[in-house]
Amino acid sequence: MLTVHNAALRGRPGRWTLTAERGRLTSITPDSGAASGLDAEGNLVTEPFVDAHLHLCKVHTLDLAGGGPLAAYTNGTMGAAMDAIDGAAAVKAGQTEEAVTVRARAALVESVRHGVRAVQAFADVDPAAGLTGVRALLALKEEFREFVDVRVVAFPQDGLLKAPGTEELVEEAVALGADVVGGIPWIEFTDAAAAEHVRRMVALARRTGRRVAMLVDDAGDPGLRTTETLAAELLAHDMAGRASAQHARAMALYPEPYLRRLTGLITRAGLGLVSDPHTGPLHLPVFPLTDAGVPVALGQDDIEDAYYPFGRHNLLEVAFLAAHVLGPNRLDDLYDMVTTTAARVIGRETDGLTEGAPADFVVLDGTTIREALTRHNPPRHVVVGGRVIASTNSLTHFPAFPGKSA
């Protein structure tokens, strides 16, 4: 049994005691003053973090890729985004399963430390990478099963029709156990090929009982329309509510009447969106879509790879950065976007902090959301299944503090 006392909870004034038994939350009651178990010291206890979008197969590859792709991806209105993808592909030749495993494992250890309970993890599938990334991530999924729910996406990063042989590889990846069917329709050479890309991947997902996660419209071109194509195909295949769309940066440039029409379609298709304002100069309209009832999550996207030079799989940091791009006035919404809403976007059932729910939670370093975001420190404690799986305590010593005698 685990008891956590002296906890602050979101939206519930006062101090609280949580108890967990056999992996479930058994009670949440006002603090009685008893000091048994873990002391939250007045810090916030919340649902754990969920990352709806991470390219886990290419973490820590920036040094291999060089700075060229990064410069192309982040320049201006992202006109060269496709060049960045081509440049980044060069690192895949010669990539071994072991090398991917070592780098991705380091990132997943950081996930545990930062209280990330689930990750929608993209693994490149293409003639150059083969199934190296998928095999590595599926093995890590097993290795981390108790701590992190790794949902492996078979992701045709270089296109489907553009890179012949890829479709068969994606099918093989799904047969190996990949959880989600990926896609990146906007990089096909024609709109017709993009539509075909979406159609085939949604059909594969339906056939195999998988969800869909696609990177859509990731460049500064208002003519890109694959978010619409995806939503329409979901409806056509009876797959509403079974997909998420990542990036969709072109949405930032859509005329308002079209954006409104698209919002209606997205809603009907039950499509969740994932934005990552820290990894590119454009981002989808996060708050207008949230206000329209569309579930929008924030994702880490990249950790030290060809597209983004930072990242520690700290989703408080992701929300902190988003607060600088999107404005600091809706911190609670941003926090939902890396916790409960993100869980919804990837189709992970979450019961929240209620009696009977899985005893998965974080004890933050901060008594309020703002304080936790300001510090963006790892949680003081990460609890999964009623068990503490990581604790962090940072202390600074001031041996020569002004006024202190030597």
Residue whose CB is less far from Zn ion, 121 or 170: 121
171 contacts Zn ion (rule: CB under 5 A): no
| Shortest separation between residue 81's beta carbon and Zn ion, angstroms | 11
Residue whose CB is less far from Zn ion, 297 or 353: 297
| Shortest separation between residue 226's beta carbon and Zn ion, angstroms | 14
| Shortest separation between residue 247's beta carbon and Zn ion, angstroms | 6
Q: Are 398 and 404 in contact (CB under 8 A)?
A: yes
From the list 91-99, 162-170, 299-307, 354-362, the region that binds Zn ion by CB under 5 A is 299-307
Q: Under DSSP, is residue 303 helix (H, G, I), strand (E, B) or coil?
A: coil
305 contacts Zn ion (rule: CB under 5 A): no
Q: List helix spans (H) across 118-272.
A: 132-143, 166-176, 191-208, 226-236, 256-268
Q: Footprint of Zn ion on residues 95-134 (CB under 5 A)?
A: none
How many residues make contact with Zn ion (CB under 5 A)?
A: 1
Provide the terminal-to-terminal Cα distance of the chain, rounded to the nearest Å.
47
Helix axes 226-236 and 256-268, enclosed angle (nearest 10): 30
217 contacts Zn ion (rule: CB under 5 A): no
From the list 66-74, 134-142, 176-184, 298-306, the region that binds Zn ion by CB under 5 A is 298-306
From the list 29-37, 189-197, 286-294, 296-304, the region that binds Zn ion by CB under 5 A is 296-304
With CB atoms as reference, the residue minimizing the distance to Zn ion is: 301
Q: What is the CA radius of gyration of the chain?
A: 21
Q: Rounded to whole angstroms, how far apart are CA atoms 366 and 373? A: 8
Task: Give the residue, chosen from 47, 149, 171, 301, that forms a contact with Zn ion under the rule CB under 5 A.
Answer: 301
How many CA atoms within 13 Å lie on the side-chain side of 348?
25
Three-state DSSP string of 68-124: HHHHHHCCCCCCCHHHHHHHHHHHHCCCCHHHHHHHHHHHHHHHHHCCEEEEEEEEE
From the list 24-32, 175-183, 295-303, 365-373, the region that binds Zn ion by CB under 5 A is 295-303
In which element (H, E) is residue 12 found?
strand 12-21
Residue whose CB is less far from Zn ion, 244 or 350: 244
Q: Rounded to whole angstroms, how far apart are CA atoms 102 and 59? A: 10
304 contacts Zn ion (rule: CB under 5 A): no
From the list 40-48, 129-137, 140-148, 301-309, the region that binds Zn ion by CB under 5 A is 301-309
Q: Rounded to whole angstroms, how far apart are CA atoms 161 and 347? A: 28
Residue whose CB is less far from Zn ion, 28 or 81: 81
Binding positions for Zn ion, rule: CB under 5 A? 301
